[in-house]
């Protein structure tokens, strides 16, 4: 993002001070949408770099909009304030603001119900907080005030390992510019911010797209452009055939959920290879699905299936291990989830046998069982990136924000999904969706990205009206979201 700012200043007819003005205006629009009352007491806490410069411009704009109860806290910790900070300080002084000069953090006093706008340090953070900054941050956190951070909470690294224990500002909201920070998507950020809001500041999208980056944020635009329409004169054969190998006596539901999601996501045909004991349930709940006896799997012609998925509710006994072993030898790309991954974790030599272009969908624990324990998510995602490249597979590392590591070494971040989806069976639905897209002739990368994004998007649409979403409810709602996403 810092590169984007620098490029914009160089290549657009805009000076850095004017970009700062745009940033401040965009911040104020989002801030006043959340806190509209002009009598609201606000303390704008400014450092002496460009983040502090933003804070000064924000204070001026808020005052201009009639916010009459603003105090501006100026830290006096640095010997070399930034040029734009100094310029904005001169501008602000003309508005006759209430200024609090702070040399000693212990002098900080907040008014009743005062909101703190945190503009102390932003993306310029280059070392852990210490000394006076650390003491001030501690005092602000302790105050219990509502905190809204400019760009990033002070002390929070935008990229790289998040310091543990976290000692930066604990913001209620961070208002960031143009693009979210990569670390907002890591679970450890929960300590630093409750919510983030990204506001546009008019930077060149085509330039941002063209920047080489190992990280990609999945967008609705990409999904809509990638989804193929259902063509006139097409038929069930056009949309591929999924074979779903799943289920066990106590976990037949997982097989039904995965099979149902494959149907609801548009596969032309879906066959469930489940134990005989699940047949009645299959016929009653999913009459569209076909059935393949487990004993016949090894006699079946596997290449009549455009996607083969294995794992949901499968079990890890000898019989299931042999089935997996057989499939791994067919050298046909697979979707591997749940117990298929647990079997591989217990027999690590099988990792190298996963056919290239396969997709594996571990949650945190399954991932660590496969690849070893990780002290934090940053390292876990880096392992995913390396393993996806080394094995030439797609790794869908599931979480609130799922990371998809591609064989190219890129990692896609999925912005959709919400905690209402945190219920058993949700991963089974995802496996069915991904297998369905694979059967419909999308590449393994596309199938994984479409599956993950649309899974979360369906959950987001349902969460507008319900607090908890059962996996079967989500599955049935997929067709409506698919319709909406088709261009
Ligand atoms: N054109 C742009 O770039 C735009 C930028 N914008 C805004 O600017 C923000 C980035 O501003 P920035 O680069 O001036 O850094 P900032 O975060 O204010 O820090 C200031 C200095 O603090 C120091 N420092 C670092 N860590 C420290 C620590 N732990 N404890 C103590 N000191 C520490 C370090 O200086 P050093 O100590 O290394 O000399 C650093 O340089 C960005 O988040 C956004 O809000 C927008 O206006 C859009 C246009
Ligand atoms: N808080 C959350 N926000 C968004 N998605 C979530 C959340 N909790 C769970 N999910 C999604 O639900 C799925 C859970 O997968 P998994 O743990 O394998 O479930 P199960 O094995 O019960 O089917 C993942 O796709 C995950 O991204």
Determine the distance from the C-alpha atom of residue 301 to the mean position of all C-alpha atoms in its chain, rounded to a whole number.
38
DSSP 187: G
- 459: burial class by Cβ within 10 Å (0-12, 13-18, 19+)? buried
159 lies in the same domain as 299: no
Determine the distance from the C-alpha atom of residue 5 to the mean position of all C-alpha atoms in its chain, rounded to a whole number.
23
**Rounded to whole angstroms, how far apart are CA atoms 400 and 449?**
15
Closest-lying ligand 2 atom to the alpha carbon of residue 419: 1
Structure tokens at 170: 């604990």
Structure tokens at 154: 């002070």
260 lies in the same domain as 198: no
The candidate with the shortest Cα–Cα distance to 437, out of 199, 209, 242, 279, is 242
Supply the pLDDT for residue 428: 98
Q: With beta carbons less than 8 A apart as the criterion, state whether 111 and 41 touch.
A: yes
97 lies in the same domain as 152: yes
384 lies in the same domain as 274: yes
176 lies in the same domain as 227: no
Structure tokens at 245: 């190998």
Nearest ligand, CA 421 = 2
The β-bridge partners of 271 are: 243, 290
Nearest ligand, CA 339 = 2
Kindly give the confidence (pLDDT) of every residue in the chain, 487 residues in length, as a single tens digit, with 9 standing for 90 and above: 566 555 555 666 567 888 899 999 999 999 999 999 999 999 999 999 999 999 999 999 999 999 999 999 999 888 899 999 999 999 999 888 899 888 888 888 998 899 999 999 999 999 999 999 999 999 999 999 999 999 999 999 999 999 899 999 999 999 999 999 999 999 999 999 999 999 999 877 777 777 778 999 999 999 999 999 999 999 999 999 999 999 999 999 999 999 999 999 999 999 999 999 999 999 999 999 999 999 999 998 999 999 999 999 999 999 999 999 999 999 899 999 999 999 999 999 999 999 999 999 999 999 999 999 999 999 999 999 999 999 999 999 999 999 999 999 999 999 999 999 999 999 999 999 999 999 999 999 999 999 999 999 999 999 999 999 999 999 999 999 999 998 6
**Distance, CA 182 to ligand 1 centroid (Å)?**
18
**Distance, CA 179 to ligand 1 centroid (Å)?**
17
Q: With beta carbons less than 8 A apart as the criterion, state whether 91 and 75 touch.
A: no
**Distance, CA 82 to ligand 1 centroid (Å)?**
9
Closest-lying ligand 2 atom to the alpha carbon of residue 428: 23
Structure tokens at 113: 């119900």
Calculate ∠ Cα 457-460-461, nearest 5°.
90
Nearest ligand, CA 418 = 2
Tokens 């911040």 correspond to what residue? 27
170 lies in the same domain as 128: yes
Q: With beta carbons less than 8 A apart as the criterion, state whether 53 and 127 touch.
A: no
Structure tokens at 192: 């630093």
DSSP string, 245-275: E---GGGHHHHHHHHHHHHHTT-SEEEEE--
182 lies in the same domain as 71: yes
127: containing domain = 2-212
Would the pTM count as exceeding 0.90? yes
**Distance, CA 50 to ligand 1 centroid (Å)?**
5
268 lies in the same domain as 122: no
Supply the pLDDT for residue 213: 87
**Cβ atoms within 10 A of the Cβ of 3, count?**
11
Out of 179, 212, 245, a domain closes at 212
CA distances in angstroms from 75 to 120, 134, 168, listed in the order given: 8, 12, 16
144 lies in the same domain as 261: no
207 lies in the same domain as 229: no
- Report the nearest-CA residue for atom 1 of ligand 2: 419
Supply the pLDDT for residue 11: 62
| Residue numbers belonging to the annotated binding site for AMP | 398-402, 427
**Rounded to whole angstroms, how far apart are CA atoms 464 and 458?**
10
Considering its fold, how many domains does the chain have in total?
A: 2
Helix or strand or coil: residue 328? helix
481 φ/ψ angles, rounded to the nearest 5 degrees: -65, -40
DSSP 398: B
Helix or strand or coil: residue 229? coil
188 lies in the same domain as 307: no
Out of 212, 238, 273, a domain closes at 212
**Rounded to whole angstroms, how far apart are CA atoms 123 and 157?**
7
CB within 6 Å of ligand 1 — which residues?
2, 5, 9, 16, 19-20, 23, 47, 49-52, 54, 82, 121-129, 133, 150-151
Q: How many residues does the chain have?
A: 487
What CATH number corresponds to the domain at position 321? 3.40.1190.20
Structure tokens at 435: 């297998």
How far is the first Cα of the chain from the last one, in angstroms, to the nearest whole number?
30
**Helices 318-329 and 338-346, interaxial angle, to 10°?**
90
Out of 163, 185, 212, a domain closes at 212
Supply the pLDDT for residue 10: 62
Closest-lying ligand 1 atom to the alpha carbon of residue 54: 47
Tokens 């869908």 correspond to what residue? 396
Nearest ligand, CA 471 = 2
Helix or strand or coil: residue 41? coil
325 φ/ψ angles, rounded to the nearest 5 degrees: -55, -45
DSSP H helices, 265-308, are 279-285
To test ligand 2's pocket by mutation, which of 422, 428, 451, 454 has the most ligand atoms within 8 angstroms of CB? Answer: 422
| Residue numbers belonging to the annotated binding site for (6S)-NADPHX | 254, 313, 363, 428
Q: With beta carbons less than 8 A apart as the criterion, state whether 223 and 452 touch.
A: no
**Rounded to whole angstroms, how far apart are CA atoms 451 and 313?**
19
**Distance, CA 447 to ligand 1 centroid (Å)?**
40
Determine the distance from the C-alpha atom of residue 255 to the mean position of all C-alpha atoms in its chain, rounded to a whole number.
27
To test ligand 2's pocket by mutation, which of 187, 335, 398 has the most ligand atoms within 8 angstroms of CB? Answer: 398
- Core vs surface per residue 132-153: b (16+ CB within 10 A) or e: bbbebbbbbbeeebbbbbbbbb
- Report the nearest-CA residue for atom 6 of ligand 2: 400
To test ligand 2's pocket by mutation, which of 421, 451, 461, 475 has the most ligand atoms within 8 angstroms of CB? Answer: 421
Calculate ∠ Cα 178-182-185, nearest 5°.
110
422 lies in the same domain as 324: yes
- Report the nearest-CA residue for atom 45 of ligand 1: 51
The β-bridge partners of 100 are: 73
- Report the nearest-CA residue for atom 33 of ligand 1: 125
What CATH number corresponds to the domain at position 105? 3.40.50.10260
CB within 6 Å of ligand 2 — which residues?
338, 363, 398-400, 402, 417-419, 421-422, 424-428, 430, 455
Q: With beta carbons less than 8 A apart as the criterion, state whether 452 and 404 touch.
A: yes
Q: With beta carbons less than 8 A apart as the criterion, state whether 282 and 346 touch.
A: no
211 φ/ψ angles, rounded to the nearest 5 degrees: -65, 135
Nearest ligand, CA 175 = 1
DSSP H helices, 13-75, are 16-34, 50-64
Tokens 């890890």 correspond to what residue? 316
């Amino acid at each position: 993002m810092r590169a984007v700012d620098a490029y914009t200043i160089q290549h657009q007819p805009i000076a850095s001070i004017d970009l700062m003005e745009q940033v401040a205006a965009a911040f104020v629009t989002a801030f006043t949408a959340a806190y509209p009352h002009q009598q609201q007491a606000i303390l704008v806490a400014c450092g002496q770099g460009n983040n502090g410069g933003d804070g000064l411009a924000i204070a001026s704009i808020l005052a201009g909009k009639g916010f009459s109860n603003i105090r501006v806290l100026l830290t006096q910790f640095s010997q070399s304030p930034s040029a734009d900070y100094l310029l904005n300080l001169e501008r602000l002084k003309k508005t006759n603001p209430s200024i609090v000069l702070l040399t000693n953090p212990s002098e900080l006093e907040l008014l009743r119900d005062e909101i703190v706008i945190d503009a102390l340090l932003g993306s310029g953070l280059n070392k852990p907080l210490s000394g006076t900054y650390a003491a001030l941050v501690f005092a602000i956190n302790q105050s219990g005030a509502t905190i809204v951070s400019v760009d990033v909470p002070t002390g929070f690294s935008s990229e790289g390992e998040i310091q543990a224990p976290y000692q930066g500002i604990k913001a209620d909201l961070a208002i960031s510019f143009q693009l979210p920070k990569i670390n907002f998507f890591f679970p450890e950020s929960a300590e630093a911010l409750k919510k983030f809001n990204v506001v546009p500041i008019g930077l060149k999208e085509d330039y941002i797209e063209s920047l080489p980056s190992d990280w990609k944020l999945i967008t609705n635009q990409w999904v809509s452009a990638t989804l193929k329409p259902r063509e006139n004169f097409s038929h069930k054969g056009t949309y591929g055939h999924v074979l779903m190998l799943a289920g066990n006596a106590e976990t037949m539901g997982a097989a039904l959920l995965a099979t149902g999601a494959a149907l609801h996501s548009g596969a032309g045909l879906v066959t469930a290879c489940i134990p005989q004991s699940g047949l009645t349930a299959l016929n009653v709940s999913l009459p569209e699905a076909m059935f393949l006896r487990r004993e016949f799997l090894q006699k079946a012609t596997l290449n009549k299936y455009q996607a083969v998925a294995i794992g949901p509710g499968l079990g890890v006994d000898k019989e299931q291990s042999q089935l997996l072993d057989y499939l791994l030898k067919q050298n046909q790309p697979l979707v591997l989830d749940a117990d298929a991954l647990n079997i591989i974790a217990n027999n690590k030599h099988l990792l190298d046998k996963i056919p290239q272009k396969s997709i594996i969908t571990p949650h945190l624990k399954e991932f660590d069982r496969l690849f070893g324990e990780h002290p934090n998510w940053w390292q876990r995602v880096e392992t995913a990136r390396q393993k996806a490249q080394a094995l030439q597979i797609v790794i869908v590392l599931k979480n609130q924000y799922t990371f998809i590591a591609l064989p190219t070494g890129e990692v896609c971040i999925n912005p959709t999904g919400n905690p209402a989806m945190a219920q058993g069976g949700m991963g089974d639905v995802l496996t069915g969706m991904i297998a369905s897209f694979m059967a419909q002739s999308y590449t393994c990368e596309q199938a994984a990205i479409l599956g993950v994004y649309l899974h979360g998007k369906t959950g987001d649409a349902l969460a507008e009206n319900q607090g908890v979403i059962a996996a079967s409810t989500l599955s049935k709602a997929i067709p409506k979201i698919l319709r909406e996403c088709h261009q």
